[in-house]
């Protein structure tokens, strides 16, 4: 089957959180066609609770979404536990959540959709169902049999990639090694060219330590590991700079000059991008054989019954999944 460039599959996420609410809200506001892999009866139940009108059409094949999208929210059905309640995580739904993700991946790999958007889940809840589950990104890479992958957070002003992702801060330095860092830069450069149409990407790499180690006074990872990699990468023709001091890397002039920043750890990358534009920041996975984006927020259990969740990040994720 030929790839449909304008069709996006959205997973259910955790039905006890805000996912269902923001999916309904997004359907009313995005021009890009999508369908959700979810329980249609539960969607209706949530819609009734926050008193919004949404017409649902159950589909059996992805392409049917195009025929009904303007008038109906297309739903590829998966049943969930009948006792599911907003704001209260239900462990009985763990298998259903994974089934939604797995089906989306299957459709993407078969080229029946152009990309997938994964709705927010709880690592804590799902790790009790699947041991060693550490998040969407790692799970999708394993499903796609990819050993090399990356997590990019982006909005209109900034693209960042954390070199280490969900690693305790005290352990980050153990992961800073030359070969994986070299591979991460190459992967980022390739993705910027292929997925974002940037002919000659300009990449910045931050240091690990304060002031990038201050000549070894505050740490030697920059001198012994990061700088040698940068020098080697430059010889291959890639435009790269660093290691930049993390506290000054994200100056306005740098945001305008560089196409992406490779940062050493999670918060070093995510704090600036979320500060610049939290609501329109999304997550994109590098290195997969298919396009995957996601909104950059959690399940929102604490507000799931209040119906005040903001759908902007999900809409942005859907738009990027159709565009990339």
DSSP 89-150: --GGGHHHHHHHHHHHHHHHHTTSSSEEEPPP--HHHHTTTSTT---HHHHHHHHTT-SS-E
Sign for the CA dihedral angle at 124, 282, 147, 37 comes to: positive
Do 300 and 226 have their domain in common?
Answer: no
Do 321 and 225 have their domain in common?
Answer: no
Do 85 and 224 have their domain in common?
Answer: no
Residue 176 lies in a domain: yes
Q: How many CB atoms lie within 10 A of CB 183?
A: 15
Average pLDDT over residues 117-136: 89
Q: Which helix (H) or strand (E) holds 187?
A: helix 178-196
Number of domain units in the chain: 2
Do 185 and 218 have their domain in common?
Answer: yes
pTM above 0.85, yes or no: yes
Q: How confident is the model over 211-251, as pLDDT tens digits?
A: 998 888 899 999 999 999 999 999 999 999 999 999 999 99
Do 312 and 179 have their domain in common?
Answer: no
Residue 283 lies in a domain: no
Residue 281 lies in a domain: no
Do 141 and 214 have their domain in common?
Answer: no
Residue 282 lies in a domain: no
Do 6 and 141 have their domain in common?
Answer: yes
Do 1 and 144 have their domain in common?
Answer: yes
In the sheet that 291-295 helps form, which strands lie side by side, from edge to edge? 56-58, 73-77, 33-38, 7-11, 115-117, 291-295, 282-286, 150-154, 159-162, 260-263, 202-206, 239-244
Do 180 and 239 have their domain in common?
Answer: yes
Do 126 and 215 have their domain in common?
Answer: no
Do 141 and 3 have their domain in common?
Answer: yes
Q: Which domain holds residue 139?
A: 1-148+288-324
Average pLDDT over residues 80-104: 96
Q: How confident is the model over 36-68, as pLDDT tens digits?
A: 999 999 999 999 998 888 999 999 999 999 999
Do 320 and 209 have their domain in common?
Answer: no
Q: What is the CATH number of the domain that holds 258?
A: 3.40.718.10
């Amino acid at each position: 089957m030929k790839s449909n460039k304008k069709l996006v599959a959205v997973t259910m996420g955790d039905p006890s959180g805000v996912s269902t609410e923001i999916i309904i809200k997004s359907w009313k506001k995005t021009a890009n066609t999508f369908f959700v892999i979810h329980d249609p009866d539960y969607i209706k139940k949530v819609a009734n609770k926050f008193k919004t009108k949404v017409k649902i059409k159950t589909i059996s094949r992805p392409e049917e979404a195009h025929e009904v999208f303007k008038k109906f929210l297309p739903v590829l059905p998966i049943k969930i536990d009948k006792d599911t309640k907003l704001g209260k995580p239900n462990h009985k739904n763990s298998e259903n959540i994974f089934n939604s993700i797995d089906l989306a991946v299957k459709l993407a790999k078969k080229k029946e959709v152009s990309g997938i958007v994964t709705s927010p889940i709880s690592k804590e809840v799902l790790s009790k169902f699947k041991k060693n589950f550490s998040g969407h990104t790692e799970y999708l890479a394993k499903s796609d049999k990819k050993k090399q992958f990356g997590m990019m957070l982006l909005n209109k002003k900034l693209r960042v990639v954390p070199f280490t992702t969900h690693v305790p801060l005290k352990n980050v330095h153990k992961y800073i090694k030359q070969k994986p860092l070299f591979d991460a830069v190459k992967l980022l450069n390739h993705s910027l060219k292929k997925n974002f149409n940037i002919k000659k990407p300009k990449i910045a790499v931050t240091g690990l330590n304060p002031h990038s180690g201050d000549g070894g006074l505050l740490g030697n990872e920059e001198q012994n590991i990061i700088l040698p990699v940068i020098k080697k990468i430059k010889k291959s023709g890639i435009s790269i700079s660093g290691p930049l001091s993390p506290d000054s890397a994200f100056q306005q002039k740098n945001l305008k000059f560089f196409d992406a920043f490779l940062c050493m750890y999670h918060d070093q990358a995510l704090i600036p991008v979320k500060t610049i534009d939290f609501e329109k920041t999304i997550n994109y996975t590098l290195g997969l054989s298919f396009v995957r984006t996601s909104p950059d927020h959690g399940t929102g259990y604490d507000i799931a019954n209040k119906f005040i969740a903001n759908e902007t990040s999900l809409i942005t994720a859907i738009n990027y999944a159709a565009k990339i």
